[in-house]
Every structure is written in C-alpha cells, then in structure tokens.
Amino acid sequence: MEIFSLKNQWINLLFIIRFTLLSMSSKPATLALRSNENDLLALLSLKDQLVGDSHGVLTSWNASFHCCQWQGVQCGRRHQRVVSLNMSGLSLAGFISPAIGNLTFLREVDFSSNKLQGTIPREIGHLKRLVYLSLNFNHLKGEIPEALSNCSNLQEIAFTDNNITGEIPVSLGDMKNLINLHLAGNLLIGGIPAFLGNISTLKVLSLQDNKLKGTIPSSLGKLFNLEYMYIGGNKLSGSVPPVHNLSSLLVLDAAENQLSGNLPPEIGCTCPNLEGIFIALNQLTGEIPRSISNISSLELFDIALNGFTGSVPENMGNLRNLLVLNIPGNYLGSGKPGDLSFLSYLSNCSRLQSLGINYNHLYGVIPDSIANFSICLEELLMGDNQIIGRIPQGIGNLINLDLLEMKGTFIAGEIPISIGNLQNLEGLYLGFNYLSGKIPSSIGNLSRLSNLDLTNNKFAGAIPLSLKQCTNLQKLDLSTNNLNGNIPYQLFGAFERLIYLNLSHNSFTGSLPSDMRNMKNLVEFYVHNNNFQGEIPMTLGESLQLTTLFMQKNSFHGTIPQSFASLRSLENLDLSNNNLSGTIPPELQKLHFLVRLNLSFNQLDGEVPKKGVFKNATGFSFFGNKNLCGGIPKLQLPKCFSEKPKEKGKVLSTKTIIAISISILLGSILVVLLVYHSLRHKARRGTFMPSSLFDNGCLRLSYKQLLECTHGFASSNLIGTGSFGSVYKGVLYQHEKPLAVKVLNLRNHGAARSFIAECEALRKIRHRNLLKIITSCSSIDYQGNEFKALVFEFMPNGSLESWLHEQHDQSRYLNFAQRLDIAIDMANAIDYLHHGCETMVVHCDLKPSNVLLDDHMVAHVADFGMAKLLSTVTSNIGSDQTSSSVIKGTIGYVAPEYGMSGSVSPEGDIYSYGIMLLEMITGRRPTCDLFHDGLSLHNFCKMALQEGLKEIFDVRLVEEIGVNWKRIRNKPNMEAEIWECFVSFTKIGVACSTEVATDRLRIRDAIIELHATKARLLRTGFYGRDNR
C-alpha cells in the first residue's frame, strides 16, 4: 500500500513538473498557470482520498489532460480557475479531502449520491465564493462544521440522508443568502433553532426524519419567502405556532410528531398558496379551521389519526383543486343529522381522487349528490361511522372507484344494482351493516374484484351464479347472513385464486360440490353453522395450503376423508356436531401442524390414535362419540378389544432356559467386544465427535428418535437435497414445532469433513438471521453404518430460491419491500459472521437455496458445510485439503479470485451476496443462458445502470407498478422514487460483486445503503408502513 502511495506521489510530482515547464513557454500563460497550480494540487489530493471509481471518472484526472478538462471539473473562462465540481452519482467511496478548501474559486460542489464516509471537512469554510453545496445521500457522519457560516454566499446546503449528528449549529443563522436548507434523514438532535427565523431568504426548510425535540419556534412565522416546510418524522411537541407571514408557503409537512393543541384558525388566510397540508399522526384537537376553504390551490389535506372534533366545514367544497381529503381516525361529527352535509359540497371538487372519512362519529344519510362526485374518484372510505339510510343508486356513476369501504355503519336496504358499473373495483367492504335482500347479480360484472366482504348483514336468497365471473377473488366473506339454497358447483371451479372463503352462519343446504380441486390456494375455509348434507368431498384434501377448516354444526355424513392426510399445513379442524361415522383416520396423527381437532358429537367408533394432536388432551375433543376406545390414558376411554387374547405359552424346560441364558451371555460379550473394537478404531482415526458441542442444555436425540420423527426418512418428508446429504422434515412427539433433520450421505467424498466444519462453525454462533441449530447426532444406524445428522429449526416458507424461481407456483411472489427486508436480513447475518464472532466465519457457499424464510418471512442463512474459520483455514480441520478444495462453492456465486488463490476471505462472501442481490432484482440466475461470451449477471446490471435501462428488473416487480398505476399516477414523484429504489438496490449488488475483491462494498456500508433505500421506499407509501 505504501509503494502504491509513493508511486502516486511520483506521478503527481512529474505531472506538476511537466505542467510547470509547459507554462514557461509563455509569460501570460505563466501567470494563469501559477494561479491555478493550487487548484491542481487540491484536485489531486481529492483524488487520492476517493476510491471505488466504478464509473472510471477519475481516470481522466491525469497528465494527458489539462485539469479544466477533467470529468466533473469546470473552470471559469477568464482565470481558468475551478468554479464547479460535480461528482454526483458516481458510487465514489472514501473521504472528502480537507484540500477542497484550497479551491477558493469554487461556486458549486456536488458530491451527492455516493458512498462517502468520514466527516464534512471544516476547510469548506474557506470557500467564500461557494453558492451551492450538495452532499446528499452519502454516509457522512459527525457534526455540521461551524465554519460553514463563513461561506456567506451559500444559497443551498443539501446534506439529506447521511448520518450527521449533533445539533444544528447556531452559526447557520448568519447565512443571510441561504435559500434551501436540506438536512432531512439524519440523526440531528436538539430542537429547531429559533435563529432560523432570521434567514429571511429561506424558501426550503427540510428537517424531517431526524431526532429533533421541543416546540416549533414561533420565529419561523417570519419566513415570508418560505415555500416548503418539512419537519415531520421527529419528536416535536407543543402547539402549531401562528403562521402570520407565511404567505408563500406551498407545503406544510409536520406529520408523525407529538404536536397538540389546535391548528391556527387563520391558516387559510395567512397561507393562501398552500398545496399540501400533512399533519397526520399527531395529537391535535379542536375543529378544522373554516379558513381552509380560502386555500384555493390546496391539493392534499391529511389530518388522519388526531383528535379533531366538530363538523367538517361545508366550504371544503370550494377547494376545486383538491385531490386527497384524508380525515379518518378523529372524533368528527356530532352524532346528529347534518354531519354528512359537507359531502354534497364536495361534488364541486372535480379533481378529487381519494376521500377518507372513516373512523369518526359522523351521523346521517349519504346524500344522493354523491353521484356527482368527481369521475376521478378512486378511493372512498366511509366505514365505522353512524351512517344510516341506503347506499345511493348513483354510486354507480363513480366508475373509476377501485376501493369502496362502508363497513361498520347502520346502512340498510339492498345493494343498488348500479354497483355493477364499478368495473374497476378491486375491494368492496360492506360488512357489519343492516343490508338485506338478495346479493345483486350485477356484482358479477366486477371482474377485477379481489376482496368482497358482505359479512354480518341480512342478505337472503342464494349466492348469484354470476359471482363465478369474479375470477380474481382472493377473499370472499358472506358469513352471518340469511343466505340459503345450494352452493353452485360452478363457483368452486372459478375461484382458483381464492385464499379465504367464509360461508358460515347461514342456511345453506344440499351438498358441497364434489369437485373442489381448483381451490388449491385456499388457506381458510369456513362453512360451519349451516344445513349442509351429504359427504365431505374427498377433493378438499387437494387444497394443500389449508390451515383452518371449520365444518361443524351441519349434517354431513359418511366418513372423515382419508385425503385429509394430505393437508400438511392444517392447524385447526372442527368437524363436530355432524353425523359422521366410521373410524378416525390414523393418518391425521401425521399432520404435525394440527393443534386443534374437534370431532365431538358424531357417530365415530373404533380406536383413537395416540400420536400427533391426539396426544394432547386439551387440543383434541371427542365428546358425544359413544363407541370410541383407546387413545392416551388421560382421555379415560375404554380399552379396545380388537386383538385376540394371547394363548398361554407352555412352561419351558430347565435345559431350554439354561441354553437361552448362555446364548444371551455370549451375545452380550460379543457386542461389548465389537463396540470396544469400533471405539479403538475411531480413536486411531482421530474422529471428531461434534455432538459434544451441543450437550450444554440442548436436546439429545438418538438415531431411533430421528428415524421415527421423519417416518423412516420418508420421501414424503424430504424437503431438500445438497452436495453432502438430504434434509427431512420431522416432528418430535414431545414438541409441537417441526424440525429440519440434515442427514449426511457419508458415501460422498467430503461429507464427513463437511459435518465437522458445520459443527465447528455453528458451535458458538447465535444470531436472529442464522438458522438455529438444535442438536447433532453421531451414531450407528440399524445396518451398522456410521450415521451423522444435524437438527435445525424448521423454516416453513422454504428457501429464497423457491420464491424467486418456482414459476409453477404463482402464489409465491415477493414484492420489492419483502426482497429489501430479506436483503437486509442476509447482510446482518454476514456482518455478524465476519465481525460479530470470536473467530471470523467465512460461509463460502452463499446462494438463494441456502437462505431460508420463517413464518414471518425473516431470512436465515443456512448450510455451513463449506464454512471456514478464518484462523483455521490451514489448520488441522482441513489439513488434508489441497488449496483447490477451498474454492468449492456454487458456480455463478463463487468469487472469481477463488479460482486463482488457495485462500478464502470475507470479500468472497460479499461477492456471493452481491450476486444474490442482482438475482433478486432481475429474477435471473447467474447461470442463465443469457450470460455467455464474457457477459455475466454483474456486467449485465452494470451496463444497464450506465444506460438507464429498466428492462433488467424482474418483470413481476415491473408488473406490480403497472397494476398500481392508477394509485400512483397522480402522486408527485412516487413512481420515480420507486424506480430509484430499484436502481439503488441494483447499485448495491453491483458494488458488492466487483471483480477486484478490494473494491467491493463493505458489508456494513451495504447495510447502511439498504436501510436508506428502505426509508426512501417507505416514504413513498407504495407498500404501506413497515410491517416488521
């Protein structure tokens, strides 16, 4: 490294000498060259501190070009001094050299969207001519330098999305020319300084998403030029101060704080140019100021989840430019007629797209004038109010609605037939009302409908056959009504995407359709409390995703279908209060997730099984079946007498007894000798017995127990195979949760070594994002062969590989937010292995099939069979390996340097991780046929980033944006922000998978960038709030 540094210094020195000699040929030129010699030195110093130039920009910074011709550098025409430095979006890492303070003619500096670290150099304060300074989207830390105030000509300071700490320096109050101040997305503490109110030139004040506390200073009310005030996402308290002089304000965002008190009543008069008011998620009270109606330019008004009371001003209808009116979760309304009168006036808001008034105390009838609402309206939420009367027939005029929610009110009458005009509707929520009559057949026109909720009403008659046309339905809830008649068999053939079906608490009759095999995605199925008859369809056993099946309180007869043994995901099964007969299928005890089983009050007979759910007396109910027997003793059932009594054997002679005894004694001696010989043989071989690693307080399992819990390592329990063995799903009868049992195939070369390596790696590591090992087993099987197995926590959602590439399972789809969370989980695991363990662990085989997902979709890195402890790569554990054995990994994911070197490194894991990120964002494996003749997944993504191509992204992610186009098309910058998140994710993958190991992004930097991308994504609101 020192040699490399000296070489750079000599090159720079030669460059300066050459530059100076050339300058001596002309006297006028000499003066100019002397004057910018300092600039040259400063630029070279900057270059020395920057690394990771993936775009090759700094390659132009050499002796072949005048420094004014270097990329990103701009000089003034008169003196040839550097006046602009634009290095934005170049993925540069490293530090900002203090030498930047020597570029004294600089007017503009832009280092935004890089990976710069360290602090902001105080020498920037020397740049007296500086007008524009942007360091957005980096990893800068430390405090804002006080010396910055010396840059008295500064008009814009942009430090958004860094890790800047400390308080906002007092000296900023002296910057009388400052126009834009962007400090959002940092770790700033303290309060909003009152002195900011002295910067009368300020137009943009962006302080959101920090850790600021205290009150909003009233001095901000003096900023008569202020246009954008972003102070949301902090911990600000107190009241909103008067805003007398903010007549230029366009956007006020103070959401997600702890503000209390009233909104200033004069806000509509003093801020007449406002376009957006965002004050949701505070503790504000009082009434909505009537002066709001004066803000004719207002487009978005969001006061959700506060404590506002009183009426909604009728003059809100004067807001002709209003796009979003969002006032849910308050205490608006008096509980008297007239609360909804404001709705008639909203018909004047011809651009309205979203109206949310749900979760208030509004009383009254929905006016017929709702039919005159904007044709642009897409979302109408009115539920959980005290609304009475009927749904107006004119609702059918709102043809662009995709969400209609009126649940939890007192609406009565029939659903108007005109509902069928809403052909863009995706969600219709009318549950918990007093609606009656028949379900209109016109609902069948809603071909895009995915959620239909009519629960807890008074609907009568049969389910309309036209409902079969709603083939996109995922949730259908018709429970607790007065519906009757047979279920049309055509319905069950049409609902292939259905996940939730609730027909309970009605008066349905007849049989369930015999063919239900199309409902393969069904997770919850409720038909209890009806009058169904006939047999339970055998084909219901093909709904393999079922977790809950309630069929109680009907008149089903026949036997419990044997096909139920296939419902491996079943957790709750209730068949009580029917006329079922026959025996309980013993296969039900193999349903290892089944925790609740109610078979009470039927006519079942025969033996009760003893395993699975049947061993839990509180989870299994059987009352009212008089002919059952057996089961566990706690059930206190009579014994079963199906077996014939055993005949009494004849008394053995004395000679026979002696002969048997001698045989047993000789056999015992032989066994002891064999065991002793085996132990001595293993001792000579120096066999590593890793089971001792897990003895401390951990579960001990024998070969017999593992054989039983996997049903003899049955193929039906096989969940995966690898280079050195197979993984089976198993359930111990004393534990409800299933296990994953990895059985090593010791015939494969390297399997035993893999077992030892995995035990050694897993011995002392514990992390949320690593697959938890429960125990190990090193034993002899029933054939006398050596047996080794590792037992892990079972991951019900399988591998990342299956979610990314199993095209036949369309229900398995990861949206971008989920992929981002999984990427962060994986990075946290790698960071722990590399920096959080006593001895660094290098995984050596990171790939999607080795990343498993639990029931909350949290990622766990697995399979440490190739892992290396960095201090023992060449130790006894692998002493018999050649250097080439180290490079064993998976083609496409193994780092390129492993093919040239005999040693592993953490950078190899980072390379594999980067390839996985690119696979997640593109949906393409690194071994895809597209990648040949020098084109790799890394190069493919790198070139696409340079050319700004969107075609590289997984088509399913792109389709998701298309499906939600209506929701985002009129929301400023949302689509661009989402695409930028995709690009940011890709850049991280490219930076992690560069060919040169030392150029790769550090894993902790990757974590920081991923979190920044996640924060940016959450701010778009496209995926809702974070669910983790």
Question: Rounded to whole angstroms, how far apart are CA atoms 969 and 426?
Answer: 17
What are the residues whose beta carbons fall under 8 Å from the beta carbon of 714, sequence distance 6 or more? 728
Separation in Å, CA 808 to CA 680, 811, 812: 53, 9, 9
The answer to whether residues 406 and 433 touch, using CB atoms and an 8 Å cutoff, is yes
- In sign, the C-alpha dihedral spanning 930, 933, 938, 943 is negative
Question: Rounded to whole angstroms, how far apart are CA atoms 1013 and 1028?
Answer: 16
Question: Rounded to whole angstroms, how far apart are CA atoms 259 and 98?
Answer: 41
The one-letter code for the residue type at 258 is: Q
Question: Rounded to whole angstroms, how far apart are CA atoms 471 and 493?
Answer: 10
Q: What is the 8-class DSSP label of residue 575?
A: -
Q: What angle do CA 56, 57, 60 make, to 5 degrees?
A: 100
Look up residue 155 and give its two tokens: 């008009």
SS3 469: helix
DSSP conformation letters of 706-722: HHHHTTTT-GGGEEEE-
Separation in Å, CA 904 to CA 498, 593, 887, 899, 1002: 49, 41, 8, 10, 16
**In sequence order, what are the beta bridge partners of 743?**
726, 789
Separation in Å, CA 197 to CA 131, 183, 214: 21, 16, 16
Residues designated as active site: 845
**In sequence order, what are the beta bridge partners of 729?**
740
Question: Rounded to whole angstroms, how far apart are CA atoms 601 and 623?
Answer: 6
Residue with tokens 């943009």: 204
Look up residue 153 and give its two tokens: 């000509």
The answer to whether residues 316 and 344 touch, using CB atoms and an 8 Å cutoff, is no
Question: Rounded to whole angstroms, how far apart are CA atoms 778 and 786?
Answer: 8
With 0-12 / 13-18 / 19 or more C-beta atoms within 10 angstroms meaning exposed / middle / buried, residue 371 is middle
Q: Pick from 942, 923, 955: which is nearest to 819 by CA? A: 923
Biggest CA-to-CA distance, the chain: 130
Residue 658 φ then ψ, to 5°:
-65, -45
Look up residue 314 and give its two tokens: 């009728």
With 0-12 / 13-18 / 19 or more C-beta atoms within 10 angstroms meaning exposed / middle / buried, residue 391 is buried
Question: Any alpha helices (H) in 535-653, and if so which ranges?
Answer: none
Residue 70: count other Cβ atoms within 10 Å of its Cβ: 21
Please give the order of strands across the beta sheet that includes 258-261: 213-214, 235-238, 258-261, 283-286, 307-308
The answer to whether residues 298 and 319 touch, using CB atoms and an 8 Å cutoff, is yes
Look up residue 528 and give its two tokens: 């209890």
**In sequence order, what are the beta bridge partners of 110?**
86, 134
The answer to whether residues 290 and 345 touch, using CB atoms and an 8 Å cutoff, is no
Q: Is 27 among the annotated ligand-binding positions? A: no
What are the residues whose beta carbons fall under 8 Å from the beta carbon of 78, sequence distance 6 or more? none
Question: Rounded to whole angstroms, how far apart are CA atoms 837 and 21?
Answer: 57
Q: Pick from 588, 458, 592, 450: which is nearest to 521 by CA? A: 450
Give binding residues as ranges: 742
Give binding residues for ATP as ranges: 742
